[in-house]
Amino acid sequence: MRSSEMYGKLSASGADDTTLSPPVAASERSAPKATARASALAITIALEHFTAIMADVALSDDRILADADPRFAAVWRWHAIEETEHKAVAYDVYREVTGDGWGAYLRRVRIMLLITIGFWIDVVRYHLRLVHADGALGDVPGWWRLFRFHWVNPGGMRRVWRLWLEYFRPGFHPWQRDNRRYVEAWKAAYAARGAAPA
């Protein structure tokens, strides 16, 4: 079954996939018309940092996807590799456009703070919609398991926030955390198997 078909089953479960389209995507599309080019790029690099650090956590700790359906795990690992490969592209464009001065730094950290608030509001809102569609809003043990998974064991969210803070260093660059080894290992496994590693 294709990954798009598997994700399409969300609709059948009662989750309207149109309500899961992130408003942040719309803000990205409209940003060049409403803001300066540098601010539009700052939005992009803030979001790219989130996807890059979450990818790093997923790739560096096998426990994160250990209990996932192997088909979904393969999709998520591929996506994490893809996010890792291009994690500095938009950042390098931003530096080319804005330079490395304090104005560029203050713009990117200010926008990161705003994006962070909106990003996590959206994540919680979408998660609640999915849980509601599954009829599990009142599943207290389920919420406890979710909390433990994210914050205790394996505790990926604790590492996400540590990596998030790195963005606020004045001399930050995405490749200061060099995790190309995950990309190379995935490519080697793909070459050996002729299919995406699960």
Residues in Cβ contact with 109 at an 8 Å cutoff, skipping those fewer than 6 apart: 167, 168
pLDDT > 60? residue 196 = yes
Helices assigned H by DSSP within the chain: 3-12, 23-34, 37-60, 70-85, 89-98, 102-133, 140-151, 156-166, 180-193
Helix 37-60 × helix 70-85 angle, to 10°: 130
> What are the tens digits of pLDDT across the range 1-46?
444 444 444 445 454 544 444 544 454 555 444 357 889 999 999 9
Question: Does the model's pTM come out above 0.85?
Answer: no
Cis status of the peptide bond prior to 154, with omega within 30 of 0: yes
* pLDDT single digits (tens) 154-193: 999 999 999 999 999 999 999 999 999 999 988 888 887 7
Residue 164 and residue 160: Cα distance in Å, rounded? 6
pLDDT in the model for residue 189:
84
Domain ranges of the chain: 23-122+157-187
Position 123, amino acid: V
- Asked if residue 157 lies in contact with residue 151, where contact means CB atoms within 8 angstroms, the answer is yes
- In the prediction, which pLDDT does 197 show? 64
User: Per-residue pLDDT tens for 89-138?
Assistant: 999 999 999 999 999 999 999 999 999 999 999 999 999 999 999 999 99
CB distance 73 to 198 below 8 Å: yes
The pLDDT assigned to 6 comes to 41
Residue (of 97, 68, 59) closest to 3 by Cα position: 68
**pLDDT for the residue numbered 5:** 46
